[in-house]
Structure 1
Amino acid sequence: MSQESMTHLDELQTQRLEEMCIVIDKQDRVIGAETKRNCHLNESIEKGLIHRGFSVVLFNTDDQLLIQQRSDAKYTFPGHFSDSCSSHPLYSPAELEEKDALGVRRAALRRLQAELGIPPEQISIKDIIFMVRIYHKCQSDALWGDHEVGYLLLVRKNLTVNPDPREVKDYRYVSREELAELLDRAARGQEKVTPWLRNNAEDFLFKWWAHLSDVSAFVEADKIYGQ
């Protein structure tokens, strides 16, 4: 394993590499479990290992999207701008539950509280809307990558945010126009954004933005895009 791709990891990120992710096939059927480390090694990805993940897009009631800049200690895409919160459900009974995507939504609630510091009394499972699934494969560097079926989850609520600096380098709320400008700057090499932020914005968020008060018409729970 390349030490160059490991030296930037802090103790928290190193510990998190031992968490057990949910291994799936391309149809999002559970077939086992594997460490987060192995799920994100390019060597494993090229052998076909796929895991389950999620991305949360958190809007306030002014219809501004919370984006974050990932910590420089992240193992994939350090220092890149990304969506509000992205992570993985773990291989546990609570987060494996599939009815109404309850397990993934529980994982999202856990990470929103841990990563963004949202107080538990301000947010619940009911606030997290499962919109659609996206098949996603990308490479971060020579060692690390991502290969998952990701659940795109939406929250629209005014919340107190106090991010863990070990996870989040910076954050801001942006309008639709400001996000488009960020993506334009990234396309010119002036900023760094995660592939899933760009893909989610261009394929879904820009279409949803004018309808955030009621996104029910855009819910596609049975569809997996990108295959």
Structure 2
Amino acid sequence: MLFPELSTDEQKLFALNHQLISGSSKFSFRLGSQAKGFNRLYIITMSKHQGKREGKGSSEVESGTCVHDEADRLCFTFSARPQLGAMSEVSPDWVDDRQLRRLDEMLIVVDENDKVLGADTKRNCHLNENIEKGLLHRAFSVVLFNSENKVLIQQRSEAKLTFPEHFTDSCSSHPLSNSAELDEEDAVGVRRSALRRLRAELGIPPEQLSLEDIVFMTRYHYKAKSDPIWGEHEVCYLLLVRKNVTINADPGEVQSIHYLSQEELEDLLERAARGAARVTPWLRIIAEKFLYKWWAHLDDLSQFVELHKIHRV
């Protein structure tokens, strides 16, 4: 086998942090993700050069077979997907410098069944032009209840990329494309990311909240436009926490927080339907599809745990 250090997936995609050169343009590839800039099949030639693997594209081909070439090369056909994750120079002028830097975070790209395809930037994942071409990423929503069975609802800051100043769930964000947050056993990777963001956004002291306090309930898949340029398209893990915690919210993330009863949340959503308040689409999904059914059973929610289901909403 040529290049035995390559995994099977790498040999199929020849991707991670290397470049395909075709003509005068260079294109970067990531393992398992959509190949940017191509919409046809290519032959990729890999060669060893001072310990590095390099690739060059040749003419179009019509097959997907792997061909072992000369002693120092491996040629195979590369099936590149359409340009889903195209880089864009569009920058939202209302976000602050910290939120702007976060647009470069690498999120987890998945298919509709939550199978990992690769990674792409937060910026690319939230551009409607990419979403309409099918780009989908993994996310989470947390609903945090206190001992009075009231749920924490936050109002997003004016600097948020999508749905600024909207009322939403307790905390929502994304697991990052790293080994710790990609770990799928018991959804521990997503739960780790939720713990990270609960501490960062809400300022919950580390000693008050642990990974074991975060319960994975189910998943839902939704799509929503925030404005003509930015939007959401996520397979979202719905996580639940029942605990009294100290909140010291980051004003760059959170404008206000409120603990609401079921009746108060219903009133908020009713006011939003009349245009008297603004709520995120996923808050309405969470409330109407899940929370209203769960509220009377908060002491034992085992009947509502759906580890293998993805709700299409």
Q: Does residue 106 of the first structure (1) align with residue 200 of the second (2)?
A: no
Query: What SS does the corresponding residue of 2:220 show, helix, strand or coil?
Result: strand
Partners of 2:132 and 2:262 in 1: how far apart?
A: 35
More helix by share: 1
Q: Does residue 84 of the first structure (1) align with residue 170 of the second (2)?
A: yes
Partners of 1:42 and 1:11 in 2: how far apart?
A: 22
Query: What SS does the corresponding residue of 1:57 show, helix, strand or coil?
Result: strand
Q: Does residue 185 of the first structure (1) align with residue 271 of the second (2)?
A: yes
Query: Would the aligned equivalents of 1:53 and 1:148 in 2 still touch at CA under 8 Å?
Result: yes
Q: How does 1:10-89 map to 2 (within 5 A)?
A: 10-89=96-175
Q: State the partner residue of 1:163.
A: 249
Partners of 1:111 and 1:192 in 2: how far apart?
A: 23
* Post-superposition offset of 1:12: 1.1
Q: Does residue 139 of the first structure (1) align with residue 225 of the second (2)?
A: yes
- Report Cα offsets for 1:47-81 as digits up to 9, x if no partner: 10000000000000110000000000001000000
For structure 1, the 5+ residue unaligned runs are: none
Q: Does residue 212 of the first structure (1) align with residue 291 of the second (2)?
A: no
Query: Would the aligned equivalents of 1:115 and 1:164 in 2 still touch at CA under 8 Å?
Result: yes
Query: What SS does the corresponding residue of 2:283 show, helix, strand or coil?
Result: helix
* Post-superposition offset of 1:2: 8.6
Bigger RCO of structures 1 and 2 (CA < 8 A, at least 6 apart): 1
Please report the TM-score for the alignment, with normalisation by the length of structure 1. 0.98
Bigger radius of gyration: 2
Partners of 2:183 and 2:272 in 1: how far apart?
A: 37
More strand by share: 2
* Root-mean-square deviation (Å): 1.1
Partners of 2:118 and 2:229 in 1: how far apart?
A: 23
Aligned residue pairs total: 226
**Over 4 Å off, 4+ runs:** none
Query: What SS does the corresponding residue of 1:213 show, helix, strand or coil?
Result: coil
Identity of aligned residues (%): 64
Partners of 2:122 and 2:93 in 1: how far apart?
A: 17
Query: Would the aligned equivalents of 1:95 and 1:102 in 2 still touch at CA under 8 Å?
Result: yes
* Post-superposition offset of 1:217: 1.2
